[in-house]
Structure 1
Amino acid sequence: MLEDKFGRRFHYLRLSITDVCNFRCTYCLPDGYQCDGDRDFLSRQEISVLVNAFAGLGTSKIRLTGGEPSLRKDLPQIIEQCASTPGIEKVAITSNGFKLPQMIQSWADAGLSALNISMDSLDPRQFHAITGHNKLETVLEGIDMALDLGIQVKINSVLLKPYSDTMLSTALNWLKDKPVTLRMIELMQTGDNQPFFNDNHISGQPIKQRLLDQGWGQILRDKSAGPAQEFSHPDYTGRIGLIMPYSKDFCKSCNRLRVSSRGKLHLCLFAEQGLDLRPLLREGDMNALQQKLVTLLGQKEASHWLDKGYTGATQHLAMLGG
C-alpha cells in the first residue's frame, strides 16, 4: 500500500492522458489551448505499465483526465486496459461531454464505471459564456444516456461569483428526480489566473450552511472517494457535493496521486514540479517503478498551501485535469 509519512493511504490515481482541451473555460483556458511543446503523450504500453505498478501498490481507482481525454481516439482501449488490470475496481473519466452522446456507449462497453462531467451552468447562455461553446443540450443528452447505461454520474461545477447563485437554484430543481451528484468546487488560484481568481472566488461555506438549514445531511466518504463533502436530502434523488480546498484540514484526507500526460508524478495538484517516471515506463521495469513510487512519496507535503497563495507549477487546471 502506498502510504506517506503522515499516514495517508493512496487508493486513487488521477491519470492525465492529454493536456489538449477544446473548450475555452474562463477560469482555465480563456484563450483556448496553447500548444507549448510536443504532444508526446503516454502510449498505451506505458499506461499499462503505470497502472499495473499502481495497482500492485494498492491503488483501486483510476480516473482518466485531460485536458479533454476524449480527444484521444484510443480512449476506449485505454479504459479497457485499466478496467482489466487486476486490483483496479473502478475506472472513471472526467470530461467536458462535448461528444458524449456519440461516445458513451463505447466507454461503457470498455468497462467505464463512473463519469464526471464539467458543467458550470444549466443555463444555455451562461454555459456558452463560461465555455465558449453552445453544447449544453448535447451534454445533458449524454448524461441521460450514461445514466441509462448504469454509469455513476457526477457533475463538476466551479463556483464563480456571477453564476453560482443561479446554478444552485436551478440545480436544486434538476436534482429532484435526477440521480446524479452535483459537486460545487471553489475556484482555485493557479499560476496564470490571479486577477480572475481575485474577482471571482467565493467560499463554499455559506452554501454548506444553506444546505444544512434546508435539511440536507452530510454523507460519510468512501475510502476511494474524492475530497467532496457530499449531502443528501430525503426529497431529492440527486446529491450535492462541496469541494472547498481553502477549508481547514482539506488535505488531511488526501488519497490521490497524479500522473501527467507525459509521465510525471505530481504528489499534489500544486506541487513545485513533476517527478519524471517516463524512463522506467519505457523500460517496463515494474519493480523499479514501484520502488521509485514508494521513495518519491516520501517527498509529499502535509498541505497544498493554497491558503498562502502558493500555486506551485500549476499554470492552469488543464495541465493535470484538476
Structure 2
Amino acid sequence: MLELQDAFARKFHYLRLSVTDVCNFRCQYCLPDGYRPDGRKSFLTLDEIRHITRAFAAMGTNKVRITGGEPSMRRDFTDIIEAVASTPGIRKVATTTNGYRMAERVADWRSAGLDAINVSLDSLDPRMFHQITGQNRFHEVMAGIDAAFTAGFEQVKVNTVLMRGLNDGELGEFLAWIKSSPIQLRFIELMQTGEMDELFERHHVRGAAIKEKLLEAGWQQRVRAHNDGPAEVFWHADYVGEIGLIMPYAQDFCASCNRLRVSALGKLHLCLFGEYGVDLRDLLQSPGQQAALQRRLREALADKKATHFLHQGHSGMTPHLASIGG
C-alpha cells in the first residue's frame, strides 16, 4: 500500500470530509452574518463522496469525519454516513454537528454506521448560547446530547470555543457538568481567519492558560492515538468526563498533523490555513479514475508545509471555518 505521507514523514490516516458549507447557525466566530448562499455551488454528490472515500482508504486512511457547515442540512446525510462506513478500510466514522437535528435523527445516524459524534455547545447558559450562536436552540441541543447516549454512543464530544468576555467565565460550570457524565469537553482556542481579525483580538483566550489550571488541579494527559484529532486530552480520577484542548497556537501543534481536508466542492486542502486547494472533482466521475486520483493526492502532499503561519497572523485563504469544514 502506498500510504499518504508528506516530506516530513507525517502519515495521514484521518480525512475531514465536508459535504456542505451551508449552516443555519450564526456563530460569532464563524458566520456572524449567517450563511450567504451562492447559487452556482454544487456540493459533492453521494457517488463522488464514495469515490473520494475509497481513494483515501486505499492509501491508509481509516478515519473519516463528515463535516460542514452543518452536515445534517444535507437531506441525504444518513446515506452519506452509510456510504462512508461501508467503505473497506474505514474503521471509524465521525461527524461534527451543531446538534439541532440530533434529538430526532441521531439514532438513524448510529444505525447507518456513525461511531463518534462531536456537538458544538459554546455555553451552558441559554442566553449566552443564543448570543454566541444567533439561535435560541440550547434546550434542543441538550436534548440531542441525551438522545445520543440513548442511541448507544458511549461518549459524546462537546466542542466549546472559549471567548474572553463572553463564555470564558463558565469553566467551573462546564467542569461540574462532566463530573458524572461521559462527555469529552473540548475547549477550542479561537482561531484567526480572514474575516475575523477584530473578533480574534477582542476575544482570544490562550489554551495554554487553561492547560496550566488543569494540571494544577490534578488532571493528567492521555497518550495520543495515531488517528486522534488535534486535541490534547486530560483525565481526572474524580471525573467521569474528560477535557480536550485544541491549541493551534501551541508550540509544535503541527508536528503531529495526521489529517487532510476535502471541501464540499471537491478540493483537497493540505491545511485549514493553507493558501490554496487542489481540485479533485474532475477525477470523481467514475471508479476507473481511482489510480489517477490517488496519484494526484500523493503529488499534492509534496507541497504540504511543516507548519501553519498563524503566529505571523497569516490565516491563508480560509475566510471562515465553515468554508472547508473547520
TM over 0.5: yes
State how far apart, in whole Å, the 1-side matches of 2:259 and 2:104 are.
Answer: 30
1:310 and 2:314 aligned: yes
State how far apart, in whole Å, the 1-side matches of 2:205 and 2:213 are.
Answer: 14
Moved more, 36-45 or 1-10: 36-45
State how far apart, in whole Å, the 2-side matches of 1:36 and 1:43 are.
Answer: 17
Instruction: Name the counterpart of 2:66.
Output: 64
CA contact (8 A) 1:15 1:64 kept: yes
Match of 1:294 among 289, 294, 298: 298
Q: How do residues 135-214 of structure 1 correspond to structure 2 at under 5 angstroms?
A: 135-151=137-153, 152-214=155-217
Instruction: Name the counterpart of 2:324.
Output: 320
State how far apart, in whole Å, the 2-side matches of 1:109 and 1:186 are.
Answer: 33
Q: How do residues 78-97 of structure 1 correspond to structure 2 at under 5 angstroms?
A: 78-97=80-99
State how far apart, in whole Å, the 2-side matches of 1:59 and 1:244 are.
Answer: 24
State how far apart, in whole Å, the 1-side matches of 2:86 and 2:203 are.
Answer: 42
1:164 deviates by 3.6
Match of 2:29 among 23, 27, 30: 27
RMSD: 0.9
State how far apart, in whole Å, the 2-side matches of 1:321 and 1:266 are.
Answer: 10
1:150 deviates by 2.4
1:238 deviates by 0.3
Moved more, 169-178 or 282-291: 282-291
Letter in 2 for 1:21: C
State how far apart, in whole Å, the 2-side matches of 1:228 and 1:52 are.
Answer: 26
Instruction: Name the counterpart of 1:217.
Output: 220
1:321 deviates by 1.8
CA contact (8 A) 1:98 1:138 kept: yes
State how far apart, in whole Å, the 2-side matches of 1:165 and 1:216 are.
Answer: 19
State how far apart, in whole Å, the 1-side matches of 2:124 and 2:324 are.
Answer: 25
Give the secondary-structure state (helix, strand or coil) at the position aligned to 2:285. Answer: helix
State how far apart, in whole Å, the 1-side matches of 2:151 and 2:104 are.
Answer: 13
Name the count of aligned residue pairs.
322
CA contact (8 A) 1:120 1:167 kept: no
State how far apart, in whole Å, the 2-side matches of 1:125 and 1:164 are.
Answer: 11
Post-superposition CA distance 1:28-54 (Å, at most 9, x none): 111000123523000000000000000
Instruction: Name the counterpart of 1:116.
Output: 118
Letter in 1 for 2:315: T
CA contact (8 A) 1:19 1:318 kept: yes
State how far apart, in whole Å, the 2-side matches of 1:261 and 1:112 are.
Answer: 19
Moved more, 32-41 or 21-30: 32-41
Give the secondary-structure state (helix, strand or coil) at the position aligned to 1:154. Answer: strand
Q: How do residues 43-54 of structure 1 correspond to structure 2 at under 5 angstroms?
A: 43-54=45-56
Letter in 2 for 1:218: Q
CA contact (8 A) 2:51 2:286 kept: no
Instruction: Name the counterpart of 1:75.
Output: 77
Percent identical residues: 55
Give the secondary-structure state (helix, strand or coil) at the position aligned to 1:282. Answer: coil
State how far apart, in whole Å, the 2-side matches of 1:297 and 1:91 are.
Answer: 23
CA contact (8 A) 2:219 2:234 kept: yes
Letter in 2 for 1:80: E
Post-superposition CA distance 1:192-215 (Å, at most 9, x none): 010111111110111111101111
Unaligned runs of 5+ in 2: none
Unaligned runs of 5+ in 1: none
Post-superposition CA distance 1:213-247 (Å, at most 9, x none): 11100001111101111100011000001111001
1:99 deviates by 1.4
Instruction: Name the counterpart of 1:273.
Output: 276
Match of 2:44 among 42, 63, 66: 42
CA contact (8 A) 1:121 1:163 kept: no
CA contact (8 A) 2:128 2:167 kept: no
State how far apart, in whole Å, the 2-side matches of 1:38 and 1:188 are.
Answer: 29
CA contact (8 A) 1:159 1:186 kept: yes
Match of 1:257 among 245, 254, 260: 260
Give the secondary-structure state (helix, strand or coil) at the position aligned to 1:126. Answer: helix
CA contact (8 A) 1:159 1:202 kept: yes
TM-score of the two chains, using structure 1 as the length reference? 0.98
State how far apart, in whole Å, the 2-side matches of 1:2 and 1:105 are.
Answer: 33
TM-score of the two chains, using structure 2 as the length reference? 0.97
